[in-house]
Amino acid sequence: MDRDGTEPEAPLEGPGQAPEAAGRIFGDRLPLAVRYTELLATAGVQRGLIGPREVPRLWDRHVLNCAVLAELLPAEVSLCDVGSGAGLPGIPVALARPDVSVTLLEPLLRRTTFLEEVVRELGLENVTVLRGRAEEMVGKLGVDVVTARAVAPLDRLAGWGMPLLRPYGQMLALKGDTAEQELVESRAALTRLGAVKWSVIGVGEGVLVTPTRVVRVEAGESPGGVKAATRRARAARAGRGGKGGEGAGRRGGSRGRR
C-alpha cells in the first residue's frame, strides 16, 4: 500500500515474445519487427501514440494485424500510409515487404519525429517520413497504393486517399466490423472519386487467429477526381495564405504546439 493509503496499480504487461506467426510474416527481418514493437511499447506509450493498455496486445492487434496487408501488394509498388500515426500499418508492411517503397504521411510533428527515429534506428531504406496532410499532397505525390487505419469514415478517407493514387491503383483501409456498412454508405462517393471496384476481404487467414478485415477500393484510369481535387487543394492553400500574417501566425503556432 502507498503512503496515501491507496493500493498501487499493478504494472502493465509488456508486449511479450514475438508469436510464431511473426516469424512467418517477417522472415529474416523478425528482429526489426521485435525492435519496432519494443519502441511502440516504450517511446510510443510515453509520447501518447499508443495507449498503455494496448501494450500486451501489440503483436496480435496492431503489428501483425497490419503486416498481413503485404499479402495484397504486387511486387515493387509505391505506397502511402495516410495518417500514419505510430507507423501502423506502414512500418509493419515495410518490414514484411522490403521491395515496397513506403511513404508515412502524418501531419503532427510529435508523430513524425517518432517515425523518423524509428526509421533511422531500424535502418529502413524503403521508408520515407513526410509531414503533411493528404489534401496538401494532391498533385505532388502519386502512388500505386494508399493505406489507412482508423483515420476517418470511408467516404472521407476516400476523398483524401483516392486523389493520391496513380491510374489503376488501390486503396486499402483497415475497417473491422464496420467495413460492410461503411462500404454501402460510401458507394456514391467512391464512384464520384473514380473507383471502379470495391470489396471487403479478409487477409491473414491461416496465419492470424482473427483475419484482418480490409476494404479494398480499386481505381480506374482517372482516380480521385485529381484535377478537381488539385484545384480545391490550391484554393485552400491560397485562402490560408490570403489571410496574411494573422493566418500564417495561427498555422505556425498550431504546429509549434504539436
**Annotated binding site for S-adenosyl-L-methionine, which residues?**
83, 88, 134-135, 149
Contact between 160 and 97 under an 8 Å Cβ cutoff? The reply is no
Beta carbons within 8 Å of 235's beta carbon, 6+ residues apart: none
Residue 154: C-alpha distances to residues 61, 168, 208 (Å): 21, 19, 25
Instruction: Give the cell for residue 103.
Output: 511513404
Strand (E) or helix (H) holding 202: strand 195-203
The answer to whether the CB of 192 falls within 8 A of the CB of 225 is yes
Q: Which three cell numbers stand for residue 148?
A: 489507412
- Starting at the edge strand that comes first in sequence, how are the strands of the sheet with 101-106 ordered? 127-131, 101-106, 78-82, 143-149, 165-174, 212-219, 195-203
Report how far residue 19's alpha carbon sits from residue 67's, in angstroms, rounded to the nearest whole number.
13
Phi, psi torsion values for 65, nearest 5 degrees:
-55, -35
Helix (H, G, I), strand (E, B) or coil at 213: strand
Element holding 167 (H helix, E strand): strand 165-174
Q: Residues marked as binding?
A: 83, 88, 134-135, 149
Q: Please give the backbone phi and psi of residue 219, each rounded to the nearest 5 degrees, phi first.
A: -90, 160
Distance of CA 158 to the CA centre of its chain: 14
Residue 118 CA to residue 125 CA, distance in Å, equals: 12
